[in-house]
Each structure stands twice: as structure tokens, then as C-alpha cells.
Amino acid sequence: MFHKANSSILSNPRKDASKKAKDVPLRKSDRKNLRLLAASMLNCEDESILDLCFLDGSLFSRQIQLPDAKATLYFRSPAAVEEEEDTAWPYHYHFQCIWIELDSKTLVPGNSNKPEIVHIPTVALLSILPPGSLPEIRIHPEASKFVCRGADLMKPGIRGWVPPVKQQSQAMLAVAIAVNGNSQALAVGLLAHDLMEDFMTNVKTTGVGVTIITAYGDDLWKNQLPPSLVDTSSLSLFDGGHYGNAGFLEGKFVAPIEMSRTDDSEASQGSVEENDDEEKRAEETDTNVASNGDCHKKHDTDDENGEDAQGSPDDILHAAVCKALSMLQREKKKPLPMRMATFYAQHVIPNRPEGTSIDLKRTKYKKFSAYVAEQVANGLLCVGVSQEGTRKDPMGILVDFDVRHSAIQDFIELRKVSEANKPPDAKERRLVLTDLYCIPHHFQALLRLDADTMKASNATSDERRGTGMLTLKEIRSILDDYIDRENLVDPSNRNMIVVDGPLKDALYKQKKQSVNATSVPTHIPRKDIITAWTAKMEGAFALVEVPGNKVIRIGRGQAPCVTIEVSRRQSNKFVTEVRGYEEFRLDAETLCHEISQRFACAATIIKTQSSSKRATTELLIQGNLAQELEALLTGDASKTKHGGAKDSPYSLPKNSIQKVLRKGVPAKGKK
């Protein structure tokens, strides 16, 4: 709400009289009424906390006009620095907005009845109350950055729901938003009406689930930061700009970290720096985030023998880094340069030795940046400077690494040995579409070729034996045998082939036409005659599963292909048609459901009648998904940035996909 135009809170209470917003002190009776209202809404057993918030100190009200609602903000005065932090109001340097009144008529579309005043506690107030004081909505940590930028919470983004302990007096239910693994609220909003009756039934539908009123990062939060003249090194946790939540990083991200509110500011700041290096950008599940990285739980009960068996923490970290670098070395297109935080979260942690965990606090480095500095001195890593705002990190970018370093070479040799010893079933299986060739029948009498050789009687696979479908190597071998048998190699130039009569008729004679002697040279380079020989062959194909070279399908004619055709409709909308997938034994209903789930689009199965009077089906998909479907069907997620193509169960050959963009359809990345 406070991110929209003309929604700024402008200034601190009672600091700038030139602004239109006017702060009015609340009478004692008004403060008691507000305190009773808060007690009816919030589940707080300790009544002294509510007295501290509403009765102690001074309260001021400010009325402002927002684009979406009329609001009354209630600010609480800061406490004296000399007061005991355990029992006093924890904010010492700035007025804090603790309560908001809104006109619900502007928030509920179609509500033409008498407006209801909606009361909402702020994040600053919830930060000092026990967890669960307000009904909670749980989200994934990666979604917190969007909420902090002012976006409403959509229904598919909801990951959990803690129902209210007591029924609120108002019709619109106020809820707190928190990430999994961090109980402190990052935002407060109003639950959608269609979710209030049966939350679990409607949670996965589309639309807005929670209308965000205030959150970390909005104008209300920014205007409550400590003044620039205050020494920030002496501020308490709550005055540090994150209401005591050390998981709030860089003003836009909330990490799933449980922190004790009694920790001192130095420990909290150290935790923020470590989480920035190790967890913030890790795209893992909530369980992995809690169990990996520098937030791994210390195993104080581990004995020395167990540590020796797995190696010291320094050895575990170094082994994981070297293995990660060896895996990057095998990639044809190395993703470098790369952010050091991304390298640690997505490459180092997954490559740690099996049965171990990386605990930087137990190493001699304490931080990953100290380890990187040592490896730069050893010549293993090459780093660069990264900058985010005014902060510069001299080792924030991994630029390159020394492949010839002895530590990496050891892991490369181990990887080669392990891959060689893997059974065939453990390797990644994929489909390959191989081109085959058939020699025309009249070539046998014309060139006096062996019949068994033309029929592929000696083929390595049973499916191809005796079918007459030859590989490129086999048809070249037949041509070479004919050239050697007839002594057609020019003695003066071994790369030139003499064209005799039968070979001239085979390569250049057209149907019902004689060969023009003047248009055919008497000597042809070897590479040109091979090209002409291959062009005269009839086409065939084989669909092979590797490793193992298992022939799935073999046949003459044009190889099967999946056609992905994108057309433009009215209002600049696009539709994608997929045909030919049945040739690769793909089920229409399964593929249709897979596409709609992965890319969140509408997909329909349409039955058609082919030219051979055989009923076929095709998929009609909403939107231009040519690249995404190619990445999904081939199993190559690098062809698109869409995350839905990852972990594809399909492995169609890359040369079996044919993309067609009709008139008016731009290629992806172009306008």
C-alpha cells in the first residue's frame, strides 16, 4: 500500500510542521480504548506488553489520504536510552507507527454498504509481541523480496496457514506474513474474503490471497529508520532498521533464520554477513536451507574419532570446493564469471562429501571469504570485485580457476574412474536419431555390388540386419571398395578419382535422360564424389537409446519429428501447436498435463484426421512457448530461462524438434 504514488509518510512525527500531515496527541481514554481493541484482536497473554505499547509513553495520530484508502496512523514515542532494554520500549531513537486504521470500503471491491473501520497492527508492534499473536501466513523465503517491494501476496505463493486463536471483531481478517523458518512477521495484510471461509480448499486457486498493507521496505518502514546523525554502531537490534529481525538482509530479503532477541548487536550483525554469503541466494527447499550452508547445526556430541573419519572441517570445505571446480571444468560452456555466493550455495554445498556438512564456524577461516583469499594466494582461484550499492566486495565474483592445479586434477581423475565403473543403468539415458541410407536396387547390377553387403547382412544390431539400411560409414566403404576394385584412383594425384561409365551413370544420369558427356568431368576429387554418392542414396532413420545402442524404431523415408508451430491471434496473443509427439511414444494426456502444470498455461488436446486417414492428436497451448517446449522435450534446460523446463522426464533427440514461427510471431529475445 505504501509503495504507491503519493503514499509517502513524508516525515517523522512532530519534526516538520511545514508538511500537511498533522500529528494529534491521544488522550488517555483514547489510548485505553485502543489498547482494549488490540487485546481483542491479538493473542498476547502478557498484558504488560500491551500496556507498554499503548499506555506508557505518548501516542500521536496522523490522518493521511492514500490512493486506495483513508488511513489513520498511530505513532508511539521512543523510550529513553537509559531505560533497561529488557523491560522498556525497545525503540530509543525514532517514533514508530504501531497501529493503522483503514476505511475498508476502498479495499473491498463492490462493497457499497456502510464502510467498516479496519484495524491493523504494524510490523514494528508485532516484532516485540510473542510469535503467533496475529494469524500467520507462511511463504517461501524467495518470495519475501517481492512482498518487500510492494507486491500483494498471490494465493499460489501461500505455503502455510496458522489459524487465529481468537476471533477478530472485524469482518476483514488481518494476518501477518512470515517466511518458513523465521517466526517474525515481515508484512501485515488483509486476507481475501474467498479464503476466510475455507482456506485449505481455495489456497491453490489464482488471484490475490492477501492484500499487503505494510511491510519491510515500504515508505512507512523507510521513514522510521534512525536519523543519519545518530551513531548506528550504538543502536539496539530494533533501531537497526530491521525491528530486531537479523534475517532481513539488504533491505529486500528475509532469510529463514531463527534468532534470539536477546543476542547482542555484534552477534546479529555477524549472522547477517554470514547469511548473505551462504544462504540468501540458495535456491533450495526450506528443509535444505535450514540444514545446509553456514546455518548447519553444530554437532557438539560428535567425538574425535567421527571427525577424523570424515576429515576435519577445513578438509571437508576444501574437498567440496575442489570437487565443484572439477564439475565446472567438464561443462562445455562454463557459467563464469559467477557470484561467489552463487558458487558456494549452488556448487560447493551440493558437492560436499557424502554424510558430511559444511560448518564454516568450525573451520579456521570462520567465513568463506577468508578461505577464498587463501586459495587466491595459492593460485587456485581468480576473483573479481562485486558492487551492490555502496558496498564493494573485492572477492565477490569468481572469474576463473586453474584447471591444472593438483587439487583439481586429483578430483578429475577420481571422477573419470567412478564414471568408468558405473553400470550402464546408472548413466543418463537419452534418445538419438540416426540417419541411415539405402542403396538403390539398380546400383547392384550397374556397379556389380555384393547383395549381402547392400542388405546389411553383417550389421551389428539385429533390428537392422537384412533391412538394407546402412550407416554412412558402410555406404562409404562400399564406394571405396568399388574404386579400389576398378583402379579408379589417379596415379598422379591420389586425391582425384577417375569417373568410369558405370559410376557416371550412377551419379549423374537422371531418370529417362542420358548423361551429357560435356557436363560430367572425367576426374573428381574424392570428397566431392563421396558427397555425390551420399546424395543418391534413399533416406532412412533409426531411433536409438544410448548408452546400450538399443534400437527403438527403424524405418525408411523421412525421420519423425515433433513440430512446434506458433501462430499469432487477435490482440497480440499467441498460440502454440504441437504435433508429431506420438511418433516418439508420448501420451497426449500425460504430456498435456505436464505442460500445463510446468508452464502455468492452458493446454487442450485436439483430434485431427491426417492425410492417411489415421486419427491423430495435437496439443493447443496458450502463449508462445516454442523455446520452453523444446527445452522440456529434449531435456536441455539451458535453452530457456523458464524454471518449468528443469528436471525434464523427456529426452527426445535435439534434431527431432522443428520450430515454425508464423507471420507476426517474434523470436524470443527479439521484438
The answer to the question of residue 283 being in a domain is no
Q: What sign does the dihedral 298-303-304-308 (CA atoms) show? A: negative
Q: Does residue 180 contact residue 291 with C-beta atoms inside 8 Å?
A: no
What confidence score (pLDDT) does residue 513 get? 61
Residues 403-439: tens digit of each pLDDT: 888 888 877 777 777 666 655 544 467 888 999 999 9
pLDDT, mean of residues 541-568: 89
pLDDT digits (tens, 9 = 90+) for 279-291: 444 333 333 333 3
User: If you average pLDDT over residues 139-168, what whole number do you get?
Assistant: 82
pLDDT > 70 in the chain, percent? 77
Q: Which residues on adjacent β-strands are paired with residue 565?
A: 577, 660
Question: Is residue 302 assigned to a domain?
Answer: no
Residue with grid cell 541410407, as numbered in its chain: 437
Grid cell, residue 423, equals: 553400470
Residues 508 and 566 in one domain: no
Q: Check whether residue 551 and residue 569 sit in a common domain.
A: no
DSSP H or E stretch at residue 625: none
Q: For the whole model, what pTM was predicted?
A: 0.41
Say if residue 106's pLDDT is above 80.
no
> Based on the domain organization, do 362 and 510 belong to the same domain?
no
Inform me whether the pLDDT recorded for 395 exceeds 50.
Answer: yes
76 closest CA partner among 48, 53, 50, 49:
53
Half-sphere exposure of 25 (CA within 13 A, CB side): 7
Query: Is 575 in contact with 567 (CB distance < 8 Å)?
Result: yes
What pLDDT, on a 0 to 100 scale, did the predictor assign at position 198?
53
Amino acid identity for residue 216 in this structure: Y
Nearest in space to 277 (alpha carbons), one of 250, 299, 258:
250
409 and 318 share a domain? yes
Task: Assign residue 95 the CATH number of its domain.
Answer: 2.30.130.10
| φ, ψ at 134 (rounded to 5°) | -125, 145
Residue 121 has pLDDT above 70, yes or no: yes
Task: Give residue-wise pLDDT tens across range 291-328.
Answer: 333 433 334 444 444 444 457 888 889 888 988 888 88
- Euclidean distance between CA atoms 104 and 190, whole angstroms: 10
- Verify that 625 and 592 share a domain, yes or no: yes
Question: Over the stretch 442-491, which tens digit does the pLDDT of each residue have?
Answer: 999 999 999 999 999 888 888 888 999 999 999 999 999 999 999 999 99
Domain with 361 in it: what CATH number?
Answer: 1.10.10
One domain, residues 406 and 349: yes
Q: How far apart are CA 640 and CA 60, in angstroms?
A: 53
Least confident interval from 28-37, 323-332, 538-547: 323-332
CA distance 430 to 653: 8
Q: In sequence order, what are the beta bridge partners of 188?
A: 176, 214
Residue 567's pLDDT band (cuts 50, 70, 90): very high
User: Mean per-residue pLDDT for 356-373?
Assistant: 88
The reply to whether 238 falls in a domain is: no
User: Is residue 69 in some structural domain?
Assistant: yes
pLDDT digits (tens, 9 = 90+) for 16-34: 444 455 788 888 888 889 9
pLDDT band at 9 (very low <50, low <70, confident <90, very high): low
- What's the pLDDT score for residue 438? 94
Q: Is the domain of 486 the same as that of 579?
A: no
Q: Using DSSP bridges, classify how beta strands 136-139 and 174-179 pair: parallel, antiparallel or unpaired.
A: parallel
> What is the pLDDT, as a whole number, of residue 575?
94
Q: Rounded distance, CA 385 to CA 28, Å?
A: 56
pLDDT tens per residue across span 43-92: 887 888 888 888 888 889 988 877 667 888 999 988 876 555 555 788 87
Among 555, 582, 601, identify where a domain stops.
555
Q: What pLDDT score does 45 carry?
A: 79
Residue by residue, DSSP assigns 508-528 as HPPTT----GGGS-SEEEHHH
Whether 668 maps to a domain, the answer reads no
Q: What is the predicted pLDDT for the residue at 332?
A: 60
State the pLDDT at residue 248: 84
Q: What is the mean pLDDT of residues 243-258?
A: 77
Among the listed ranges 34-38, 68-72, 273-277, 571-575, which one has the minimum average pLDDT value? 273-277
Helix then strand count (H, E) for the chain reads: 21, 26
Q: What is the mean pLDDT of the chain?
A: 78
Domain range for residue 548? 431-555
pLDDT for 13 equals 47
Task: Quote the pLDDT of residue 163.
Answer: 74
Q: Could you please report the per-residue DSSP string of 38-60?
A: HHHHS--S-HHHHHHHHTSS-EE
| Confidence band of 515 (pLDDT split at 50, 70, 90) | low
478 and 349 assigned to the same domain: no
For residues 380 and 407, the answer to whether their CB atoms sit within 8 Å is yes
Structurally, how many domains does the chain consist of? 4
What single DSSP character describes residue 133?
S
* CATH number of the domain within which 456 lies: 1.10.245.10
> Is the pLDDT score of 519 beyond 80?
no
Res 207: pLDDT: 81
Contact call for residues 247 and 180 (beta carbons, < 8 A): no
Q: Are 54 and 142 part of one and the same domain?
A: yes
Q: Take residue 252 and report the three cell numbers written for it.
A: 529486500
Judged against a pLDDT cut of 50, whether residue 665 lies above it is answered with yes
| Residue 496 shares a structural domain with residue 545 | yes
Q: Is residue 588 part of a domain?
A: yes
Q: How many other CB atoms are found less than 10 A from the CB of residue 417?
A: 9
Residue 215 clears pLDDT 80, i.e. is over it: yes
Does residue 217 have a pLDDT over 70?
A: yes
Name residues whose C-beta falls within 8 Å of residue 312's C-beta, 6 or more positions apart in sequence: none
Mark residue 233 as left, alpha or beta (left: phi above 0; alpha: psi -120 to 50; beta: remaining).
Answer: alpha
The region of weakest confidence among 92-106, 252-266, 306-320, 619-633 is 252-266
Beta strands in 146-256 (DSSP E): 153-154, 158-162, 174-179, 187-191, 208-215, 248-249, 253-254
| In a shared domain, residues 372 and 442 | no
Task: Identify the domain boundary among 398, 420, 442.
Answer: 420
Inter-CA distances, 235 with 13, 92, 221, 241, 508, Å:
20, 8, 17, 10, 90
Check whether residue 189 and residue 41 sit in a common domain. yes
- CATH number of the domain bearing residue 628: 3.30.780.10
Q: Which of 385, 420, 455 is the last residue of a domain?
A: 420
Task: Answer yes or no: is 342 within a domain.
Answer: yes
The three cell numbers locating residue 640:
530457456
| Dist. CA 96–CA 127, nearest whole Å | 12
Residue 438 lies in a domain: yes
